[in-house]
Amino acid sequence: MRRKIVAGNWKMNTTVAEGVALAKELVAAMSQVPSDVNLVVAPPFVHLTSVGEAIKGSKIALSAQNCADQPKGAFTGEVAANMLAGIGCQYVILGHSERRQYYGETSATLVAKMALALENGLQPIYCVGEMKDERLDNKHFDVVKAQIEEVLFGLTPEQMGHVVIAYEPVWAIGTGLTATSEQAEEIHAFIRKLIADKFGKQIAEDCTILYGGSCKPSNAKELFACPDIDGGLIGGASLKAADFIAIAQSYTISDDALDGVSGGSKIIMPARD
Ligand code: PEP
């Protein structure tokens, strides 16, 4: 079943105390979030237990930002998928562009992480997206296609049913630039078609595909109104409870209700340096 999901990727931000306070603010505001919208928070590893406690009993789900590509053993500094499942994580973000860019994650690594996440009952939020130059060279479809094929096409249809996809153009992440709703919808529809061609129409229809990249209260409504955009993976704006909640309300609320929440620049295409 396709779901409306708004997921907050806190990245390497907040102390445990700040993260717990943010989680509590979100819990307190949950009555303002439409019942069919699923909120997910992805704090740093060391926050997971405390934030998990803070959101217990609420409708907010817990996600990790990464997991190891090995099940256990001598891998210093790594955290295994079964450890995450064991402390109550329901989701894990995989293939975030920062992991690909700064930590050299390849499709081969991600295939291993994907398998371990699924084996342990975690729902992967699998990130794909092109770099600025790839967009400017009109290669974005090819890049996204390869990222989808290399990591998802080895899954069974049953496994694919548990995967959430996040399209995050790298040039839009943390830059204040946002894909236009037309640019985002075009790629989301393309991703859904790739999934349909490989796994069948029903699995593609049921697949939740999120947009990520400077999504905020001022642009979420337009993005979420697109037929193939089912929600957002939110970085910066997830660190302010009011903004995150306003984004979660963007499926339904009027423009007036957005007054007073922080906005940002709209689009457009990046320019070459
Ligand atoms: C992200 O890193 O997943 C992200 C979408 O970040 P931001 O919203 O800050 O662009």
| Domain layout of the chain by residue ranges | 4-268
> Which residues lie across from 167 on neighbouring strands?
128, 211
Which residue type, as a one-letter code, is found at position 9? N
Residue 6, SS3 per DSSP = strand
Express each pLDDT in 10-32 by its tens digit.
999 999 999 999 999 999 999 99
CA of residue 166 relative to chain centroid, distance: 5
Ligand 1 contact via 174 beta carbon (within 6 Å): yes
Q: What's the rounded mean pLDDT across residues 58-64?
A: 98
Q: Radius of gyration of the chain from Cα atoms?
A: 17
214 ligand 1 Cβ < 6 A: yes
Catalytic residue among 130, 168, 185, 188: 168
Percent of the chain with pLDDT strictly greater than 70: 92
Residue with tokens 């001022």: 218
Tokens linked to 181: 């709703």
Residue of minimum CA distance from atom 2 in ligand 1: 235
Closest atom of ligand 1 to 175 CA is 10
- The answer to whether 47 and 87 are in contact (CB under 8 A) is no
Pocket test for ligand 1, best of 6, 229, 233, 240 (most atoms within 8 A of CB): 233
- The total of other beta-carbon atoms located within 10 Å of residue 32's CB is 13
Q: What is the pLDDT of residue 55?
A: 98
Q: What are phi and psi of 14, to 5 degrees?
A: 75, 145
Question: Of 135, 71, 141, 143, which is closest to residue 100 (Cα–Cα)?
Answer: 143
Say if residues 197 and 145 touch (Cβ distance below 8 Å).
no
Q: pLDDT grade, residue 175 (50/70/90)?
A: confident
Pick the CATH number of 4-268 from 3.40.718.10, 3.30.1330.60, 3.20.20.70, 3.40.50.300: 3.20.20.70
How do beta strands 91-94 and 123-128 pair? parallel
Q: What is the pLDDT of residues 68-112, one digit of tens each?
A: 999 999 999 999 999 999 999 999 999 999 999 999 999 999 999
**Count of other CB atoms within 10 angstroms of residue 259:** 9
- For 123-132, the pLDDT digits (tens) are 999 999 999 9
**168 given a catalytic annotation:** yes
User: What's the confidence (pLDDT) of residue 253?
Assistant: 46
Higher-pLDDT residue of 267, 161: 161
In angstroms, the CA 128 to CA 126 distance is 7
- HSE on the CB side for 207, CA within 13 Å? 33
Task: Encode pLDDT of 177-226 as tens digits.
Answer: 888 999 999 999 999 999 999 999 999 999 999 999 999 999 999 999 99
Rounded CA-CA distance 123/91 in Å is 4
Examine the residue annotation and report whether 18 is marked as an active-site residue of this protein: no
- Pocket flag, ligand 1, residue 66 (CB < 6 Å): no
pLDDT of residue 46: 98
Rounded to the nearest angstrom, the distance between the alpha carbon of 238 and the centre of ligand 1 is: 9
Summarize the chain as % helix, strand, coil (round to 5).
45, 15, 40
Cα of 138 vs its chain's centroid, Å: 24
Pocket flag, ligand 1, residue 95 (CB < 6 Å): no
Question: In 137-227, where does DSSP find H-type helix?
Answer: 140-152, 157-160, 181-199, 201-206, 217-224
Residues in the chain: 273
Give the number of other Cβ atoms within 10 Å of residue 196's Cβ. 15
